[in-house]
Amino acid sequence: MVSSMNIKDEHGIMFILSAPSGAGKTTLCRMAVDHFDKMQHSVSYTTREPREGENDGRDYNFVSQHTFKEMLDRGEFLEWAEVHGYLYGTSKDDIERLLREGVDAILDVDVQGARQIKSKGKEGVYIFIAPPSLNSCRERIEKRGVNSKDEIEKRLSSAKKELAEALWYDYIIINDTLDNAFNKLRSIIIAEKNRAFRMKPYLPEN
């Protein structure tokens, strides 16, 4: 694990990643967390059932629809959305705690969620992960072996709409190969952590 800076950060940065289903954003988020020593992957809340190999608290916080709606009523979510019939949300307190501690938070959210965060004026770096083609999305979803034909078609239909949103993000990464895509993501994170306005507290005063 490496740090992108040799000096202590005062405040963490929020990196918001969105992508169509099957574009590889979750894998890229995990690679970033493994690579950078002061970054954590935000664990979303969801009402869907765990897939094979998924663990509660690591991949998602799996909750009932009733619990999710109670959290929503209390205003506990930074963003939330209904995706493919299930509810997903990011805890506001979890993210704010990480940022206060100087830890970078990487969020894996859909386009709806990213728009909500941006509309609230939250400072962050918005990154869209695009597949090289819709066919590659189809292949990746089919390889999972957990979605029916109807679900796959719904996800591909959503993917077309999501791709149309990509241009308002700060960066677009085409995930043609995982290594290439991660190298681009790593470069973006390092560059953002060294932006002039973030470095101001560490520069000598005149």
List, run by run, the mean pLDDT of 10-residue segments along the chain (206 residues). Answer: 49 93 86 95 92 87 96 96 88 94 94 92 93 72 67 73 90 94 97 86 65
Quick one: pLDDT at residue 184? 97
Quick one: pLDDT at residue 96? 94
Quick one: pLDDT at residue 196? 87
Rounded distance, CA 73 to CA 85, Å?
19
pTM of the shown model: 0.81
Q: Say how many C-beta atoms besides its own lie within 10 A of residue 30's C-beta.
A: 14
| 2, 38 contact by CB (below 8 A) | no
Tokens of 96: 């704010």
C-alpha triplet 50, 22, 188: angle, nearest 5°: 110
Domains, the chain: 14-42+102-199 (3.40.50.300)
Rounded distance, CA 23 to CA 134, Å?
9
